[in-house]
Amino acid sequence: MTTRVRFAPSPTGGLHLGGARTALYNFLYAKKHNGKFLLRIEDTDKKNPPSNGQTIDDNTESIVQDLQWLGIEWDGEHVLQSARHDKHTKVADQLLEAGKAYRCYDSVLRDSKDAARTEARNRGDVFKSPWREKSHKDAPRNADASSVVRLKVPHEGTTTLDDSVKGTITSPNAQIDDFVLLRSDGSPTYMLSVVVDDYDSNITHIVRGDDHLTNTFRQQALYNACLSANIFSTQQAKPAYAHIPMVLDEDGHKLSKRTGSSSIGEFRKQGFLPEALTNFLLRLGWGHKDLEIVSMPQAIELFDLKGLNAAPARVSYARLEHLNAHYLRTLPLDDLQARLQPFLPASADSDARRRFFQGLEGLRQRATTLQNLVALGSFYFEKPTLPLPDATARKVWDEALLNLPPQALTRLDENLAQTNDADWQAHALAQTMRQTAQSLSLGFADLAKPLRAVCTGRMDSPDISEVIAVLGKRQTLERLEQALAQPQP
């Protein structure tokens, strides 16, 4: 039997950490078993507008793009659940015909939000409509009497679920309410659509958040009703389940879809790499020994439902940054250059870009995101303004002027100026700086630090001899001399 799994997001928002993690686990499971991974957009709740101010189409588009960007590729075209409307209503009609569902005409109860259900639940009860036992001929005669279609859930018996994460759970059927299959406007509910779609797409495993656990018992009741009405075949095995615990934020609260901080699109804009995010998501709820850095091919090889954690995972953004820093350091340089393009300042000319890319190896050792990498190398794009805006760098420069022998920095400037273009390389420049310091009975850092301050405007730059080698002679001397020409502090 071919493994077939799916990711079924509702386009009520964009893609967030929780959903992306579900998608990733399904994708890995399919790849590991040479199976199929399907994408189904559950766009059936047309009445409630998306919570993020976007349209359903915009959200669908951004979910699709974010999944592609993460490298989570699905098989075939993605399916819009709304396109299967007729099939869903047909199944509801078949259930009605078979006596497995009934029309509920109670005007108070027909609300799609199912207020009666909520009310019963609040009473600690399970909702059963009076229309469950009434015959069709009792239906109101007035032409506009509308109804909802409910599943006739058996009162007796139990349902047992063997879940890869939760273990075996048994629940009495009497606790399942007669939920709505078709709303009063005739539109199918999520509960109906999801079961029919999973059956028709031959889904073998459902891996999803454990917020769906109670839905699963309802969906089992519906599945059983379809089986006994011969709408579904007993030849097709029921899907197996894995309900993964929620993702919690750093404070241990449920991660909200509405929080910008967990949106995949936001991480992308900030310059996180898809490799880092997928590695992060993988480890957020799954483990293999003490492996931390796991590439996608390795994840495909190792992934297993048994490795899913039963306890909720807590997001650590520091951990994500750490992983991102790792991938920034290890990407091939030309690949990194290509990914940096959208982050470069629009004003940077080709010389500035060339300098930045030449200095990339040093810069990327310290960077956490692509955005941060560009910020760290801002001095390759433009001269730091004077007086230096960064307080630490300004202090280093001012103190050097006060504490070093009066001619020290001028001597450094002269010696650098005498270095010919062919020797303007990190090693030779470090040598010049060392010799100058020695001739003044100073340490290397006494000169290197103020030079770093005026050339980069910050104190966390890569090795200063490498920086000035990349900056070039003209830029270096200009920065040093302009600072020397400033009035003394």
Residue 436 one-letter amino acid: T
Residues 119-148 that bind ligand GLU (CB under 6 A): none
- 239 is a contact residue toward ligand GLU (CB under 6 A): no
CA torsion angle 387 388 391 392 (round to 10): -130
The residue count of the chain comes to: 489
Q: What is the C-alpha to C-alpha distance for residues 214 and 175, in angstroms, rounded to an integer?
A: 10
CB of 161 to ligand GLU, least distance (A): 14
Separation in Å, CA 165 to CA 98, 153, 169, 280, 303: 35, 26, 11, 20, 14
Instruction: Give dist(CA 467, CA 461) in Å, integer.
Output: 8
412 vs 153: CA distance, rounded Å: 87
Token readout for 179 is 């939920």
At its nearest, how many Å lie between ligand GLU and the CB of residue 74? 14
Binding segment for ligand GLU among 7-15, 149-157, 276-284, 425-433 (CB under 6 A)?
A: 7-15
Q: Does 416 bind ligand GLU (CB under 6 A)?
A: no
Nearest distance from C-beta of residue 367 to ligand GLU, angstroms: 34
Of 10 and 89, nearer to ligand GLU (C-beta) is 10
Q: How far apart are CA 331 and CA 459, in angstroms?
A: 26
Residues in the interface with ligand GLU (CB under 6 A) total 7
Other Cβ atoms within 10 Å of 437 Cβ, number? 19
Measured from the CB atom, is 18 or 384 closer to ligand GLU? 18
Which of helix, strand or coil describes residue 265?
Answer: helix
**Nearer residue to ligand GLU within complex by CB, 209 or 472:** 209
Identify which of residues 190 and 381 has a Cβ nearer to ligand GLU in the complex: 190
- Residue 387 structure tokens: 């007086």
Which residue, 42 or 114, has its beta carbon nearer to ligand GLU? 42
| Shortest reach from residue 474's CB to ligand GLU, in Å | 58
CB of 194 to ligand GLU, least distance (A): 5
The stretch among 5-13, 95-103, 180-188, 402-410 that binds ligand GLU (CB under 6 A) is: 5-13
- Using alpha carbons, select from 66, 62, 19, 73 the residue that is nearest to residue 274: 66
Indicate whether 8 belongs to the interface with ligand GLU (CB under 6 A): yes
Could you say whether residue 238 binds ligand GLU (CB under 6 A)? no
Burial of residue 141 (number of CB atoms within 10 Å: 0-12, 13-18, 19+): exposed
- Choosing from 4, 5, 10, 70, the residue that interacts with ligand GLU (CB under 6 A) is 10
Only segment of 2-10, 128-136, 403-411, 444-452 that touches ligand GLU (CB under 6 A): 2-10
| DSSP bridge pairs for 170 | 160
CA angle 459–460–466, rounded 5-degree value: 95
- Binding to ligand GLU, residues 23-62 (CB under 6 A): 42
How far apart CA 21 and CA 313 sit, in angstroms, is 11
Q: Does 242 bind ligand GLU (CB under 6 A)?
A: no
As given in the structure block, the two tokens for residue 110 are 């027909």
Angular region, 202: left φ>0, alpha ψ -120 to 50, beta rest: left
Question: Please, which of residues 186-215 interact with ligand GLU by CB under 6 A?
Answer: 194, 208, 212
Nearest distance from C-beta of residue 212 to ligand GLU, angstroms: 6
Cβ–Cβ under 8 Å, residues 407 and 442: no
Cβ proximity to ligand GLU, 63 vs 374, nearer residue? 63
Q: What is the smallest separation between the CB atom of 69 and ligand GLU, expressed in angstroms?
A: 19
416: phi then psi, degrees, rounded to nearest 5:
-70, -40
Binding of ligand GLU by 355 (CB under 6 A): no
Of 22 and 372, CB closest to ligand GLU: 22
**Least distance to ligand GLU, CB of residue 206, Å:** 6
All residues at 6 or more sequence positions from 48 whose CB lies less than 8 Å from its CB, including other chains: 12
Q: Is 226 in the site for ligand GLU (CB under 6 A)?
A: no
Residues 370/340, Cβ–Cβ less than 8 Å = yes
User: Quick one: which segment of 6-14, 161-169, 313-321, 350-358 binds ligand GLU (CB under 6 A)?
Assistant: 6-14
Residues that bind ligand GLU (CB under 6 A): 8-10, 42, 194, 208, 212
